Chains A and B, each alone.
Chain A
């Protein structure tokens, strides 16, 4: 069974600070997706990383896929209160099903 460990579980920071969320596995994934979920809503796809070592940027968010395609990170620069939410990583496993990490609850205080 493929598992994804996501850390930290909770993160409470001040506006303007930087943060990194980690997603680690002992298994290789064909690709990995990052989602953000608001309370009462479904996950919204932020990015898909496919190639080992790949780095993708989305405004203040930087996503990295490990060389061995077993881990990934999300770095947010100068966090804003609007970044508050639940961040989820999901590995694409055999058969195209997603294996989700437990999520990171981010709270950015103004």
Chain B
């Protein structure tokens, strides 16, 4: 499977719990992006990472949200103390680079439901 992989596909959390969303980029891609799609809204950029570095986190809420892309393993988007407003589809995308190599390919998403 050469595509972007995300797991879990569906995640249910109670208010106050932590949510961990994982993303494995396409083979050969070292740039990872996270986007959020709220109900009735479009896709919004959250954070852009390269291996071990956060490049741009301007779209990520400053509290409760964090992201990492370690040297080994998948990228992780972590949401602490989830609230009902965090319920959304979270998509990960990856690219080989930037510019002409910057085409972003998306994973199937993780649907987070906070009860």
Contact = CB atoms under 8 A, between A and B. Distances in A.
Interface stretch (A12-20, A38-46, A62-70): A38-46
Contacts, number: 61
Q: Is the interface of B mostly helix, strand, loop or mixed?
A: strand
B42 A103 contact: yes
A20 to B, nearest CB: 20
Interface range, B side:
20 to 34
- How extensive is the interface on chain A, given as a class? 20 to 34
B103 A42 contact: no
User: Is chain A's binding surface mostly helix, strand, loop or mixed?
Assistant: mixed
Contact of A95 (B4, B56, B93): B56
Closest 7 CB pairs of A and B: A42-B106, A100-B43, A97-B45, A102-B42, A96-B98, A43-B106, A100-B42
B106 A33 contact: no
